Structure 1
Amino acid sequence: MPDVHSNLPPSASKMWISCPPSAALNAKAPDSDSSYALAGTLAHSIGEAKIRQALGEDISIPECTDAEMAEATDQYRDYVLEQIEAARASCRDPTVLVEQRVSCERWAEGCFGTADFLLISDQTLHICDLKYGQLEVSAQDNTQLMCYSLGAIDAFASLYEFTEVKMTIFQPRLNHCDTCTKTVEELLQWGDTVLKPAAVLALAGEGAFCAGEHCRFCKVKQTCRKRAEYNLALARYDFAMPPELTDDEIEAILAKADDLTSWISDIKDYAMQQALSGKHWSQWKLVEGRSVRKYTDEAAVADAVTAAGFDPYEHKVLGLTAMTKLLGKRKFEELLGGLIHKPPGKPTLVPISDRRAEWNTAKNDFMED
């Protein structure tokens, strides 16, 4: 199948639904294959092959030298197989589809993608999306999964009688698995009232620019004026000290703090890349940064120190992450599960929409006393 790119990719749907004119700008911007994206692509290929092989297909698994990726894709395969077995308990012959192309053309021209895993059993359609990254993704009102769901509904609703859709984000590297369930009617209504109008604007390059959390994956975020206006709005507080601000002002600043930090970082990165490409800024220049001494040959260093009668090595137990990589998650739990202690985390301030239980200050004050 030719490599065809979607004009309105479901993976970027949060962005072009929230900020319709960003779609045209991103379509013109070049793609950048980061190491993270390449790792994600490989993990998906390995996970797909492992599932197909487990289902009886004669298929080879791509070579993988990364122990963490091998373990993560094993977990993904096992999760998928567990869902299939659970479905078979109530449905004699559930439909299993791996890497299934789905299209939302009915609601958004040029909106199509590939769902990692589809499972249809009796009244339920289950869609699972593997995320290999380490930025936690929620399944709750996840527009990418909702686009996939609409595509699957359009393709299979006439053949099956499912009435609800389970949408799951599976992130093995974070031990994160989140599921959101919606009725077919809810999804169709969202497609008609939210997705379709946004797609019309996006394809026409119309609508209002809107900055927010969705800017994270925008290709033109560094030079976007609306994003600059959004973040520079904090300047109206004139960097007043907290006691001088009202509660409403502090909450308004907190709501933008993370976006502001990210924006500043993006501006610095953009200015640096422009300078490295030959641009001369009027008030900024490139200089050589701080350098750290390094051994030219660690083996030779070890030999020289050993010959002098000293021990050149540090001796300490591997950290949890390194030990998990060494043993694999299953072996790690088998050998060390009873030797791991996870103390309570320190309090952190998050939006009220965060699904974690609220910190009980009275209870913790009592425990400290």
Structure 2
Amino acid sequence: MADHAILSASGAHRWLACTPSARFELQFPKSTSAYAEEGTLAHSVAELTTRFYLGEIDENAYEDKLAELSKSSYFNEEMLEHAESYAKFIVERLAEAKKVCADPVVILESRLDFSKYVPGGFGTGDCLIIAEPVLDVIDYKYGKGHRVEAQDNPQMQLYGLGALAEFESLYDIQTVRMTIFQPRLSGVCDSAEKSVKELKSWGTKTVKPRAKLADKGEGDFAPSEEACRFCRAKAQCKARTDKNLSLFDESPDPLTITAEEAGAILAKADDIEGWLKDLRELVSAALTAGEEVAGWKMVEGRSNRRFADEDQVVEAMKAAGYDEALLYKRKLITLTKMEKDFGKKTIAEVLKDLIVKPKGAPTLAPEKDKRPAYQFEEQVLAAFDEGA
């Protein structure tokens, strides 16, 4: 069997919306990145650490395997710290389960088959905790560039359906709770719940017909920022190009535009910027490979001057009669570095009120942003009070 399903759970947000994309992107080569390789290692470290915290392996086995994983250039203390926070979270969630269920079951890295709804569909669940009547599906996300939410998350819901297919006959499951643990985004832990009936209804009414189209490569292309983000065809997809070019046909009338019209254009900016970035990479790759692209060439980029050898620089300046102390600048380390070196709890206790968080300057954000709207009236009143 293939290592990866064509209609994967991780790609469900794409093929559910843009059904032809699953087959269409197969003609384009797979690519990996440092972020993907880092994420794979982070998952291995998190799994190992969790098994140790759960008592599935002893300390010697843990240390030996960790030493092996730490040989990777992607390994660092931050990765281990986040793995430990994930492991502690699993242990805490299991402890909560034991309060309502005498014998909860915890399963790490389980293969989840949801082919009842998706042809050939399967994935790997990071952690399942079964504590009747609740099935917990927990996913560890190491990325920090994009916040992943649990509510109506198709990947998590497909994992839920796969877990139900495996365990529903053995346990009385009424609710599926899906949790995203994303520690590098300020320890984000987001959960959502669905009843078994709701989840199965979604699988039957939404997933099945869309998956049938996707498996055949049929349906309409539906490019969007979310659907195109990780699609292998995104740079050369004609549907995406046509959609983005059509945005410029919506010429405001007459000679000026309103703030409302400007806002409508800005709402599309992220997708356009991502598309332009993909086009630059496509053209750059062609030129680097020796192809000609009319109107474009590769040139040497900007670089900054640097010292060839810092030790020799110091010796040369000293020989020229300059005091070595003048060559260094003392600066207090950052709060983040201090917390990392001495521990967050220690710094919080020692510095107390010496740590402040100024109110950020107002910045533009789309309406869907979860941060509350900036209260300009409050700032005006505060400024007035300070001047009184």
Q: Aligned to 2:355, which of 340, 346, 349? A: 340
Give the letter for the 2:53 counterpart.
A
User: Please, which runs of 5 or more residues in structure 1 have no aligned partner?
Assistant: none
Distance 2:166 2:350 in 1: 47
Please name the residue that 1:133 is paired with: 143
1:57 Cα deviation after fit: 2.0
Aligned-pair distance for 1:44?
0.4
Q: Is the alpha carbon distance of 1:111 and 1:306 closer, same or farther for their aligned partners in structure 2, counting shifts above 3 Å?
A: farther
Q: 1:126 to 1:272 in 2, by over 3 A?
A: same
Q: Which residue of 2 aligns with 1:144?
A: 155
Tell me how far apart the structure 1 counterparts of residues 202 and 342 of structure 2 sit (CA, whole Å). Answer: 45
Equivalent in the alignment of 2:244: 231
Shift in alpha-carbon separation, 1:266–1:334, aligned structure 2, 3 A: farther
Other structure's SS at 1:287 match? coil
Aligned to 1:314: 329
Q: 1:130, 1:334 → 2: CA distance? A: 31
| Change in CA separation of 1:145 and 1:39 when aligned onto 2, cut-off 3 Å | same
Is the contact made by 1:71 and 1:329 (CA closer than 8 Å) also made in structure 2? no
* SS of aligned partner of 2:78: helix
Q: Is the 8 A contact 2:53 2:88 kept in 1?
A: no
Question: Structure 1 CA distance, aligned partners of 2:342 and 2:281?
Answer: 37
2:217 match: 205
**Corresponding residue SS for 2:137:** strand
Q: Is the 8 A contact 1:71 1:328 kept in 2?
A: no
Looking at CA atoms only, which structure, 1 or 2, has the larger radius of gyration?
2
1:38 aligns with 2:37: yes
* Structure 2 unaligned spans of 5+: none
Amino acid at match of 1:26: E
Aligned counterpart for 1:353 among listed residues 365, 368, 375: 368
Contact between 2:314 and 2:324, CA under 8 Å: does it hold in 1?
Answer: no
**Alpha-carbon deviation of 1:332?**
5.4
Query: Distance between the aligned counterparts of 1:236 and 1:217, measured in 2?
Result: 27
| 2:104 alignment partner in structure 1 | 94
- CA change 1:83–1:251 in 2 (3 A) is same
- TM-score w.r.t. structure 1 length? 0.92
Contact 1:150 1:187 in 2 (8 A): yes
1:325–1:277 CA distance, 2 compared to 1 (3 A): farther
1:116-127 matched pairs, under 5 angstroms: 116-127=126-137
Partners of 2:286 and 2:242 lie apart in 1 by 22
Matches within 5 A, 1:229-308: 229-238=242-251, 244-246=256-258, 249-306=261-318, 308=322
2:202 matches 1:190: yes
Letter of the 1:12 counterpart: G
**Distance in 2 (alpha carbons) for counterparts of 1:192 and 1:228:** 33
- Distance in 1 (alpha carbons) for counterparts of 2:87 and 2:127: 10
- Residue 155 of structure 1 aligns to a residue in which SS? helix
CA distance in 1, matches of 2:373, 2:80: 36
Q: Which moved more, 1:57-66 or 1:139-148?
A: 57-66
2: CA distance, partners of 1:114 / 1:335: 44
Stretch moving more, 311-320 or 269-278:
311-320
Q: Write the letter of the residue equivalent to 1:182.
A: K
Aligned with residue 160 of structure 1, among 159, 165, 171: 171
State the distance in 1 between where 2:344 and 2:253 align. Answer: 48
Q: CA RMSD in A?
A: 2.3
| Matched residue, 1:108 | 118
What is the distance in 1 between the residues matched to 2:193 and 2:123?
A: 20
